[in-house]
Structure 1
Amino acid sequence: MNLRKTCTWALSALVVLPLFASANIDIHEAPSRPKNMIIMIGDGMGPAYTSAYRYYQNNPDTEEIEQTVFDRLLVGMASTYPARQSGYVTDSAASATALATGVKSYNGAISVDVDKRPLTTIMQMAKARGMATGVAVTAQVNHATPAAFLAHNESRRNYDAIAQSYLSSGADVILGGGQKYFPEDLLKQFSAKDYQHISQLSQLDSLTQGKALGLFAEVQLPWVIDQQDSTQLSLLTQKALELLSQNPNGFVLLVEGSLIDWAGHNNDIATAMAEMHGFANAIEVVEQYVRANPDTLMVVTADHNTGGLSIGANGEYAWDTALLKGIQASPASIAELAIAIDDWQPLVSQKLGFELKAEELQSLGNARMQGQVALDTALKQLIDNRSFTGWTTSGHTGVDVQVFAAGPAADLFKGNQDNTDIADKMISLLPRAKQTLEVISKDNK
């Protein structure tokens, strides 16, 4: 069934008519096929995150609540459930597999089907058409989402094998974290394949053409809130666009705001909002690129919702964004600093941006005696209580996620759809392949 589906989508000329019809679009008014496609994924970015970000960014000195880039670009919703054997709540691997291939699979799958057979990805299809491909992410580059676009593996946890497999992925640009998974001998193999390797963001300007492997952290990139700098992902996105756009046949680029999800798992609202800001800035970079290059389609979505975030908690009709915006570091880094010194109270108060009550100091002091993890947890609970933020889980939830789009064929993504539909629509918009059905079939063997 999966092979038949993949082959069917490869026949672009036959696919476009029924696809436009199912999207309630008059074929005579169908938008032109884009030359370039950019899919952006806010990992864990359920609807509450974009709503929270709107209020977080709002100017309190004006009567109106200003729109964000998410409000401007919203076109639809998508369901995210994995293959039924995994239930209704997806993980990043199964969802990314759906977004990369158009096929449902089990939680943990990296672009393999439920029988662990490789599925052809949109990146592979793009390469078969002579297009450039790339990824720019804030997690390690071999994490679940980018891996599903560039690799095939029965488990997302096989990080070393996934990193090794990138040698044969054909990707032109790979930017993000993950230095620990790319030892010196592997880097030499990438160099032998004409990849330029850099390890500092300050070296991005040295990349002017050709293939690039940029690994800027041991695992994840630094938290935006700790850097007090929301430009990391924007810089990676801008460089990826600059390099990939040199291909005359066009490109497909994946950009992931990976750490929104990690902050959600941590139930860390201050860090999550800072990561949302970094992702929003990257979307605006791509939005400007689409305006300057009207042959480019941008599709933005989330792979799932994380944490069950609620705006308002404990029966209070309130959410204190001013308090959240005053926090100057992640609870994890505040806890680390506070453990290291004796006179910790002034430092904690300064980093949080508000004065602590006696009972709050007592609670934090008790947690501090239990160690850094306990203090980190206590700080997050304090912030939640003060800001009226709620969470239902440290894991994922099964709610539908939003879809945002701009550029040619953006109307295809309007309304309700499944995450596999997003992949199917993007695949249908690839240039018509000169390769035969046999070439596409071969990828699934």
Structure 2
Amino acid sequence: MKKSILAVVSVLSVSSCSTHTLIDDGIPSNTLPKNVIMVIGDGMGPAYTSAYRYYHDNPITQEVEETVFDRHLLGLSSTYPAAESGYVTDSAAGATGLSSGVKSYNGAVGVDVNKKAVQTVLEFAKTQGKKTGVVVTSRINHATPASYLSHNESRQNYNEIADSYYDEKINGHFKMDVMFGGGWKHFLRDDRNLVEEFKHSGFQYIDKYEQLDTIIPNQPALGLFSDGGLPWALDDSIPHRLSVMTKAATKNLENKQGFFLLIEGSQIDWGGHNNDIAAAMGEMDDLAKTLEYLEAYVAKNPNTLVVVTADHSTGGLSVAANGIYKWKPESLRSFQYSPHTIANRLTNEDITAKFANFLFNFDLTGEELEMLITVKHGTQNALPEKEAIGNPYQIKNVSNVNQAMYKAVKYLIDQKTNTGWTSSAHTAIDVPVFSFGSHSHEFIGLNDNTKIAKKIFTLLGRK
């Protein structure tokens, strides 16, 4: 950890003493980065990167090893939306601030408070002749990617946003050259088959991760790998699917003019909404592996800038709880299934010690096992089956038994790790900012989310 702190102090010292021209005063066009990669850990407040450090730690050593996040920490970002929405942002307003440099209301996608379209850094990059792309673990028309690619008064207008990806052009060209994520249900509809339209317009289409290696460079590509968001990292066929998609995207986008790429670890936020620490750490690990790949990419392509931050924090995660000075992530490292999947299987199959130990991949105590059995049988006797209500990020169309089992599984994990939560929604705390590569020093200190966008606009060449 000392190395990380010294690195930040060193950068700050060099920055304060150097004679380079700060971005606010303008910079020579011949020093602008060729490639700009914006990475958003949705919902990733500072507690998540701290928790990941201890989750990632090698317990055999005395020192707590630094993570890829620690190596590149430069500052913080404020996240508040337009005044009419108060101090707590949603993902749409947060992403609109990061994409356009304009504050807007919660729910806004690429529009200002008057519902007028605002230019995004991705759109500007396209006008500069750069290739552009988005790689996400949500559906590709979810709030964050939509705020870079589209303009709509409501993030909930998923079909309209998907349609805009095909219908809205810049100087007769598509805004994007690569799109990887989920979203079959919005692109393969009874009223419109957007996949076929993209294919007829020259896009390669794939729907399996294994096909990422078959993509032809310099030819636009659309990859949809699920109906909505991708499976949890703990459940997916490739746990580090974000890094695999990112590698394919950078390979496809490389060209003489450079590129702008948006990457989102979307489901960190969903783990926070669900107060699901095991799923959240799985998503954090996927994002960390993506950043490690980008470190290597920047080493080979030093004219690339990588900026990493969050749109907001989610869940009020507390790394220790209940008045106890301990956080115990050991059990989190052993998970092979998400708590969602564990709950589903416990709901549908008989609960035995052997089966439960297999699902959790550690031995439950007799008390923990009895708790799961009691919750299942008690819920079966007390509640009829109906659609789950409440938290919109939880799986719907499941029984109350399944919901009860999911809560019981999470409770067991929280008790075992001593993890706490204050909310099932977003919070207003500042979020960390990380950066490396060309001109990364410009992001030192406290930056509002809109200022991050404005700096990126300048680094892309906007006067």
Q: What is aligned with 1:302?
A: 310
Out of 414, 417, 429, the position equivalent to 1:384 is 414
Cα RMSD (Å) of the superposition?
1.9
The answer to whether the Cα contact below 8 Å between 1:30 and 1:409 also exists between their aligned partners in 2 is: no
- Mapped to 2, the partners of 1:337 and 1:139 lie a distance apart of 24
Tell me whether 1:208 sits opposite 2:238 in the alignment: no
Deviation at 1:361, TM superposition (A): 2.3
How far off is 1:350 after superposition?
2.0
The one of 165, 170, 175 equivalent to 1:170 is 175
Q: Quote the residue 1:179 is aligned against.
A: 184
- The reply to whether residue 248 of structure 1 matches residue 256 of structure 2 is yes
How far has the Cα of 1:228 moved from its partner?
7.4
1:235 is displaced (CA, Å) by: 0.8
**How many pairs are equivalent?**
412
After TM superposition, the structure 1 = structure 2 runs for residues 24-423 of structure 1, keeping only pairs within 5 Å, are 32-167=31-166, 168=168, 169-183=174-188, 185-209=193-217, 210-227=219-236, 229-245=238-254, 247-369=255-377, 370=379, 371-423=401-453
**Offset of residue 31 of structure 1:** 9.8
Which deviates further from its counterpart, 265-274 or 228-237?
Answer: 228-237
Which whole-Å CA distance do the structure 2 matches of 1:218 and 1:416 have between them?
38
| Maintained 8 Å contact 2:351/2:373 | no
Residues 336-372 of structure 1: CA deviation (Å, up to 9, x unaligned): 1112222444222222233323332232112223211
Distance 2:258 2:236 in 1: 34
Structure 1 residues 152 and 319: alpha-carbon distance in aligned structure 2, compared to 1, 3 A threshold: same
Contact 1:31 1:409 (C-alpha < 8 Å) held by counterparts: no
1:358-393 Cα distance to aligned partner (Å, 9 max, x none): 332232112223211100101101100111000000
Contact residue 151 and residue 165 of structure 1 kept, 8 A: yes
Worse overlay, 251-260 or 218-227: 218-227
* TM-score, normalization by structure 1: 0.89
In 2, distance between residues paired with 1:204 and 1:410? 30
Aligned equivalents of 1:397, 1:32: Cα separation in 2: 38
Gaps of 5+ in 2: 1-19, 169-173, 380-400
Hey, what's the Cα distance between the residues in 1 that align with 2:86 and 2:309?
21
State the SS of the aligned residue for 1:154. coil
1:149–1:295: structure 2 CA closer, same or farther, 3 Å change rule? same
Name the CA distance, whole Å, in 2 between partners of 1:291 and 1:420: 28
The TM-score, its normalising length taken from structure 2, stands at 0.86
Q: Secondary structure at the match of 1:116?
A: coil
Q: In 2, Cα distance between the equivalents of 1:20 and 1:97?
A: 28
The answer to which of 323-332 and 267-276 deviates more is 323-332
- 1:39-93 CA deviation, whole Å, 9 max, x = no partner? 0000000000000000001011111110000000111110000001001010100
2-structure distance, mates of 1:240, 1:344: 45
Q: 1:230–1:281: 8 Å Cα contact kept in structure 2?
A: no
Letter paired with 1:175? F
Deviations 1:5-50 (A, max 9, x none): xxxxxxxxxxxxxx95576x9x799992101100000000000000
Q: Distance in 1 between matches of 2:21 and 2:262?
A: 24
**In structure 1, what is the Cα distance between the partners aligned to 2:215 and 2:369?**
49
SS of equivalent residue, structure 1 residue 226? coil
Q: Is the 8 A contact 1:96 1:149 kept in 2?
A: yes
C-alpha change, 1:428 and 1:275, in structure 2 (3 Å) is same
Alpha-carbon contact 1:35-1:431 (below 8 Å) kept: no
User: Partner of 2:104: helix, strand, or coil?
Assistant: coil
Encode CA deviations 1:298-332: one digit per residue, 9 max, x unaligned: 00001100001011111111111111112221111
Give the secondary-structure state (helix, strand or coil) at the position aligned to 1:224. coil
Change over 3 Å in CA distance of 1:29–1:73 after alignment to 2: farther
Asked if 2 retains the 8 angstrom alpha-carbon contact of 1:139 and 1:259, the reply is: yes
Contact 2:320 2:327 in 1 (8 A): yes
* Secondary structure of 2:62 counterpart: coil
Question: 1:404 corresponds to which letter in structure 2?
Answer: F
User: Which consecutive segments of 4 or more residues in structure 1 shift more than 4 A?
Assistant: 19-23, 27-31
Give the partner amino acid of 1:253.
L
The answer (yes or no) to whether the contact 2:125–2:460 under 8 Å persists in 1 is yes
Q: Deviations over 1:86-115 (max 9, x none)?
A: 010101000100010000000000010001
**Distance in 2 (alpha carbons) for counterparts of 1:398 and 1:432:** 30
Alpha-carbon deviations, 1:252-300, whole Å to 9, x = none? 0000000111111110001110110000001111111111001110000
Q: Distance in 2 between matches of 1:29 and 1:175?
A: 34
Closer, same or farther: CA 392–317 of 1 in aligned 2, 3 Å:
same
Alpha-carbon contact 1:320-1:386 (below 8 Å) kept: yes
